[in-house]
Every structure is written in C-alpha cells, then in structure tokens.
C-alpha cells in the first residue's frame, strides 16, 4: 500500500496531499484546488471517485506517488446516496433512508460502470470494508451484519450480531477494526474473518474529540478539524494499539481519504 493522503475542504475545494511513513511521521507533498461541495471522495486503487449527493454529479481522478492530482472523467449517477464504500475495484452505494443499494466498478481509466441494484435494511450508520467483506453497524442499538460483494457486484449476506451502541468511528486496518467513541475516547479492536464472523480483540482509551481517523497500512492518522491537531498510531494484528507521534495541521479539512494502494 502506498502512503499518500488527500485532504479536501468542502467549502472552497482546497486540497493538499501528504504522506505518512511507517513511523507515523507526516510529510507534506502538494497543494491545489478543486470544485467545492463534493460530499464523498472514495479511493479505488490509485483512482478517486468524487460524488455530490445533491445532484449525483461524479468525477474521477488519480493521485500519483508524489501527491500530484490528475483529472480522469466526469459523469452523473443518482443523487442522495449516503454511503459509498470501496471493495477492490467495485463500489457499494447505499441510501440509509430506504436501504436502496447499487454496485458499480471504476476502471483504472476512471470510467464508471453500473453493475447491479438491490435493497437492504434501512438505517445502517456505518458500512466498513474488510477485504471483500463488509461490516454494517447501527449506532442506535449496536446491531451488526456482515456481507460480501463479489467482483460482479452481487451482494451476499453472511452473519448477524450485536455490539455496544454509539461507536462514532469504525476503521479497518487489514482484517482488524478499530472502534472509537468520540465523546470519551473509548476504543476497542476486533477482527472479521472471511466468513463474516466477528471476534473481539482488545479495549483501551485515547483522547476524545477526534473527528477523522484514517488508515494508512497498519498505521492510523487521528485528526481534529476544530484545531488541526493530529496524532499517529499503529494497530498490530493482535489488535494492540501503539501511539507513534503528534503534530498540528491546518484546521477545517472536511474529508481525508484513506491511504491509496
């Protein structure tokens, strides 16, 4: 996996790219400006899908290993998708008000291809990719379900369960997951196997108030948008948390993409 990140400010389209090394050190790469008001930016390989939920406008682009941005293609899909989740080269689109889903694929040339449509349960608040598997979580009551999307965009249910409620972030790190509660900094780690079975690993506590937690390989970037505070950490395959470094960036970034493969 490459180590680059894209920072985007929705209000004016400002962007910056950066790199986090395996010791958690932050390095700035480049700055630029895009259209404002993109509501989702989703990595697919080295390509990115930009989506605006009000009208369904999309664009694709690529970030190279030096952090340089290159536009690829434009298009339009349905408006109102609340979640867009990458699974390899495929994407799951989900609307939490009615459970509607669609799957699609983005080629390395940035061209969008629709695959399939369907319906799931409504009101999932988090959808997290782990390999070809997905974890669905509802923060009001802790309900979970796991599923798989194949390379043709077909959806297959795997398992159901229940966890603690009110987790605000669920972040994948390999086959492991970090659960974070913003109000008090409580964390937990777990693993989802390829059959969709959930296994708890460890518990802990970090600072409260982080607004973004972004995976970069086995490392994590924690960011607070009110003041630009950052911290980096590592989760090992046993779910153990290790702090790496602290720093400060510009405040008010609204979207930070995960590390690009």
Q: If residue 4 lies in a helix (H) or strand (E), which one and from where to where?
A: strand 4-8
Q: Spell 17-49 as b/e; 16+ CB within 10 A means b.
A: bbbbeeebebeebbeeebeeebebbbbbebbbb
Take residue 4 and report the two structure tokens written for it: 């680059």
What tens digit of pLDDT does each residue of 192-209 get? 999 999 999 999 999 999
Q: Cβ atoms within 10 A of the Cβ of 1, count?
A: 12
Helix, strand or coil, per DSSP, at residue 81 = coil
The pLDDT, as a whole number, for residue 1 is: 44
Q: What is the pLDDT of residue 260?
A: 54
Q: How would DSSP label each residue in 139-183?
A: TTT-EEEEEEE-TT--EEEEEEEE--S---EEEEETTEEEEE-TT
Number of domains composing the chain = 1
pTM of the predicted model as reported, rounded to 2 decimal places:
0.96
Give every residue of the chain whose pLDDT is below 50, as ranges: 1
Is 261 a member of any domain? no
| C-alpha dihedral sign at 76, 41, 106, 64 | positive
d(CA 126, CA 39): 16
- Among 181, 209, 203, which residue's Cα sits nearest to residue 190? 203
Q: Is beta strand 126-130 parallel, antiparallel or unpaired with respect to 133-137? A: antiparallel
206 in any annotated domain:
yes
Question: The domain that contains 217 carries what CATH number?
Answer: 2.130.10.10
Determine the Cα–Cα distance for residues 42 and 47; give it in Å rounded to an integer: 8
Q: Is residue 171 part of a domain?
A: yes
Which of 35, 19, 36 lies closest to 27 in space, CA to CA? Answer: 19
Among residues 227, 148, 150, 224, the alpha carbon closest in space to that of 192 is found at 148
Contact 225, 251 (CB under 8 A): yes
Please report whether residue 155 resides in a domain.
Answer: yes
Give the range of the structural domain holding residue 10, as residue numbers without chain letter: 4-256
- Is there a domain that residue 56 lies in? yes
């Amino acid at each position: 996996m490459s180590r680059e990140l894209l920072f985007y400010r929705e209000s004016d389209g400002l962007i910056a790219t950066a790199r986090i090394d395996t010791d958690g050190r932050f390095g700035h790469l480049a700055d630029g400006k895009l259209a404002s008001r993109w509501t989702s930016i989703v990595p697919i390989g080295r390509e990115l899908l930009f989506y605006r939920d009000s009208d369904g406008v999309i664009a694709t682009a690529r970030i190279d290993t030096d952090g340089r941005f290159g536009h690829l293609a434009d298009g339009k899909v349905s408006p109102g998708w609340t979640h867009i989740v990458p699974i390899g080269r495929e994407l799951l689109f989900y609307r939490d008000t009615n459970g509607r889903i669609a799957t699609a694929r983005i080629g390395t040339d940035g061209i969008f291809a629709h695959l399939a449509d369907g319906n799931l349960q409504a009101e999932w608040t988090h959808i997290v990719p782990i390999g070809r598997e997905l974890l669905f979580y509802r923060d009001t009551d802790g309900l979970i379900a796991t599923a798989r999307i194949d390379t043709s965009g077909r959806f297959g249910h795997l398992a159901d369960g229940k966890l603690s409620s009110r987790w605000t972030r669920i972040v994948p790190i390999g086959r492991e997951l970090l659960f974070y509660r913003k109000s008090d900094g409580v964390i937990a780690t777990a693993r989802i196997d390829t059959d969709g079975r959930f296994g708890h690993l460890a518990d802990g506590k970090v600072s409260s108030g982080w607004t973004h937690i972004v995976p970069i390989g086995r490392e994590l970037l924690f960011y607070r948008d009110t003041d630009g505070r950052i911290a980096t950490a590592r989760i090992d395959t046993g779910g153990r948390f290790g702090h790496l470094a602290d720093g400060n960036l510009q405040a008010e970034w609204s979207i930070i993409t995960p590390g690009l493969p």
